[in-house]
C-alpha cells in the first residue's frame, strides 16, 4: 500500500518581504507554521467528520429544509462543536501572533512607512472621512480594532497585521505576496485584451493593503490606478508597500465607496475583491450605483466574491459557508450571499444582458506553492480556498 502524498503548506519563510513588512523572529515564524498546518488539518481531517456527523443525524431524522435547520442539528453535535471552537481559536491565535510581532516593532515600522510615504502625492488621506458603521461596529475576522483603529501618529499597525496574518488563514494559497486574486485579475485582463478591452483608468474599491491592485499596476504600468479605502492605517501601509515594490502608478485615497469624488465615466475598469461582503444592505446599492456612474461607456466592473446561496446549493453547504457570519465576525456575509447580485447590479443601472458571472482561481507560483495548485482542484473549505465567483457588469 502506497503512502499518502500529504500536501504540506509552504513555510511562512516563503512570504514575500517588502519595505514595511514586519520582521519575524524564528519563533514568530514557527507560530505561523503551526497555525497554517492546524488550519489545513481542520479543513482536511476534521471538516469531513462534521459532514459525516450531519449525514448520520439526517439518516436518523428528517432532512433539514434550510440552513437554519442544519444549524439546529449541528449545534448539538460534538464534532461540529469542536471543529467550530478550534476554527475560531485559529483566527484568534492568528491575530494575537501577528499583533505581538507588529506591536513589538511598531515604532520602527511607522518610521519605515514615513520614509516611504514622504513627499508623495500618491497617498491622499482625508481625516474628515467618517468610518462607516460596517467597519467600526465589528472587528472583522476577529481583528481587534478592525481596519481603521490608529494606535499612534502615522500608524500602520492594522495594515501590517492584516498583511502578515493573511498567509496563515489562506495556508499560503494566495502566494508570496498574498496577491493570487490580483494575479488572477491580470490573467483575466490579458484574455479580455484579445477582444479589445484595455482599460487605461482603473479604480479599486476597498483596497486595504493593496494586495489585489499591485499585480495590475505591475502588469500594466501604463495604466492609471486609483485605490480607495476608508481606513488610514491600511492606506499608509498600502502606499509604502506599493512604493517599496517599485510601483508608482497607484494613487491611494481615503474615501467612502458610497460617494466617490470622481467624475462620471472616468474609469474603464472598477474592481472590488472580497469587499462587498464587508459592507451593508444600505451601502451596497450606493456602492454599485457609484460603479455605474463612474464607468465610462464600454467599461467593466468586476466583483470578486464567493458563490451566492441559491436554492440549488444544498442547505448543508449554505450553513457551512455562512459560518463566518456569526463566528468569524463577518456580519454581512450571509445577507450578501442571499442577495441576487444580478438584480442589485441591474438596479444600479446595468442592463441585465450585460452582467455575467465566472469562476476565478488564484494564480500563484506552483513550484513554491504546490499545495495551492492542488487545493484549487480537489478540496472544499467553504469560503477559504482560493477560488471565487466573479460578477462582471459591462456598461
Partner 1 sequence: MTFDPIDMAGNKARGKRPVFFKDTDTDRLLSILMAVAGELAVARERVDTLERLLEARGILERAEIEGYEPDTAAARERGLWHQEFIARILRVIQQEIEQFDEDREAQQQARKENVSATTELEELIEELATS
Question: Does 88 help bind partner 1 (rule: CB under 8 A)?
Answer: yes
Would you count residue 46 as binding partner 1 (CB under 8 A)?
yes
Q: Residue 31, interface with partner 1 (CB under 8 A)?
A: yes
Asked whether position 56 contacts partner 1 by CB under 8 A, the answer is yes
Residue ranges of alpha helices (H) inside the chain are 26-41, 47-59, 67-74, 78-104, 106-117, 133-136, 157-169, 180-194, 214-219, 232-244, 283-294, 315-321, 323-327, 333-338, 341-347, 370-378
Closest to partner 1 by CB, 218 or 325: 325
Binding flag, residue 38, partner 1 (CB under 8 A): yes
Least spacing, CB of residue 329 vs partner 1, in Å: 6
Q: Is 176 in the site for partner 1 (CB under 8 A)?
A: no
Task: Let me know: does 190 contact 371? Beta carbons within 8 Å.
Answer: no
Query: Within 10 Å of residue 61's Cβ, how many Cβ atoms?
Result: 9
Classify each residue of 186-197 as buried b or exposed e, where b means 16 or more C-beta atoms within 10 Å of its C-beta.
Answer: bebbeebeeeeb
Tell which positions 182-241 bind partner 1, by CB under 8 A.
Answer: none
Q: Which lies closer to partner 1 via its Cβ, residue 41 or residue 347? A: 41
Nearer to partner 1, 76 or 200 (CB): 76
Q: Does 16 bind partner 1 (CB under 8 A)?
A: no
Q: Quick check: 271 binds partner 1 (CB under 8 A)? A: no
DSSP string, 351-363: -GGGEEEEEEE--
Q: Does 72 bind partner 1 (CB under 8 A)?
A: no
Residue 351's Cβ-count burial label (10 Å; 0-12, 13-18, 19+) is exposed
- DSSP state string for 9-62: PPPGGGSPP-TTPPP--HHHHHHHHHHHHHHHHIIIIIHHHHHHHHHHHHHTSP
Binding-site size for partner 1 (CB under 8 A) equals 66
Min dist. Cβ of residue 176 to partner 1 (A): 14
CB of 308 vs partner 1, minimal distance in Å: 24
Residues of this chain that interact with partner 1 (CB under 8 A) are 6, 8-11, 13-14, 25-27, 30-31, 33-38, 40-41, 45-46, 48-49, 52-53, 55-56, 75, 78-86, 88-90, 92-93, 95-97, 99-100, 103-104, 106-107, 137-139, 142-146, 151-153, 326-327, 329
Amino acid at each position: 500500500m502506497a503512502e499518502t502524498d500529504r500536501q504540506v503548506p509552504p513555510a511562512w519563510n516563503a512570504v514575500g518581504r517588502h519595505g514595511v513588512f514586519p520582521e519575524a523572529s524564528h519563533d514568530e515564524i514557527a507560530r505561523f507554521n503551526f497555525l497554517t498546518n492546524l488550519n489545513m488539518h481542520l479543513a482536511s481531517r476534521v471538516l469531513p467528520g462534521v459532514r459525516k456527523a450531519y449525514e448520520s443525524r439526517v439518516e436518523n431524522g428528517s432532512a433539514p429544509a434550510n440552513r437554519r435547520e442544519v444549524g439546529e442539528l449541528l449545534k448539538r453535535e460534538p464534532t461540529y462543536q469542536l471543529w467550530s471552537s478550534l476554527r475560531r481559536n485559529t483566527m484568534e491565535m492568528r491575530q494575537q501572533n501577528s499583533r505581538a510581532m507588529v506591536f513589538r516593532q511598531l515604532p520602527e515600522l511607522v518610521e519605515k512607512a514615513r520614509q516611504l510615504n514622504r513627499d508623495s502625492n500618491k497617498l491622499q488621506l482625508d481625516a474628515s472621512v467618517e468610518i462607516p458603521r460596517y467597519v467600526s461596529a465589528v472587528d472583522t475576522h476577529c481583528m481587534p480594532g478592525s481596519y481603521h483603529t490608529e494606535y499612534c501618529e502615522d500608524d500602520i499597525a492594522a495594515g501590517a497585521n492584516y498583511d502578515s496574518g493573511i498567509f496563515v488563514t489562506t495556508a499560503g494559497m494566495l502566494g508570496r505576496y498574498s496577491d493570487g486574486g490580483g494575479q488572477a485579475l491580470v490573467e483575466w485582463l490579458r484574455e479580455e485584451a484579445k477582444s479589445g478591452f484595455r482599460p487605461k483608468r482603473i479604480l479599486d474599491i476597498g483596497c486595504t493593503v493593496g494586495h489585489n491592485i499591485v499585480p495590475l499596476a505591475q502588469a500594466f504600468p501604463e495604466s492609471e490606478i486609483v485605490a480607495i479605502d476608508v481606513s488610514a492605517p491600511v492606506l499608509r501601509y498600502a502606499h509604502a508597500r506599493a512604493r517599496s515594490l517599485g510601483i508608482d502608478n497607484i494613487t491611494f485615497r481615503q474615501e467612502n465607496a458610497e460617494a466617490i469624488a470622481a467624475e462620471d465615466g472616468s474609469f474603464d475598469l472598477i474592481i472590488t475583491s472580497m469587499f462587498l461582503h464587508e459592507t451593508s444592505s444600505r451601502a451596497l446599492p450606493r456602492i454599485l450605483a457609484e460603479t455605474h456612474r463612474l464607468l465610462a461607456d464600454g467599461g467593466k466592473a468586476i466583483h470578486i466574491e464567493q458563490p451566492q446561496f441559491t436554492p440549488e446549493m444544498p442547505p448543508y453547504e449554505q450553513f457551512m459557508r455562512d459560518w463566518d457570519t456569526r463566528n468569524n465576525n463577518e456580519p454581512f456575509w450571509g445577507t450578501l450571499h442571499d442577495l441576487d447580485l444580478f438584480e442589485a447590479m441591474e438596479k444600479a443601472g446595468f442592463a441585465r444582458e450585460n452582467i455575467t458571472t465566472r469562476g476565478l482561481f488564484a494564480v500563484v507560483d506552483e513550484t513554491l506553492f504546490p499545495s495551492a495548485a492542488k487545493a484549487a482542484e480537489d478540496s472544499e473549505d467553504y469560503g477559504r480556498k482560493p477560488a471565487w465567483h466573479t460578477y462582471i457588469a459591462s456598461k
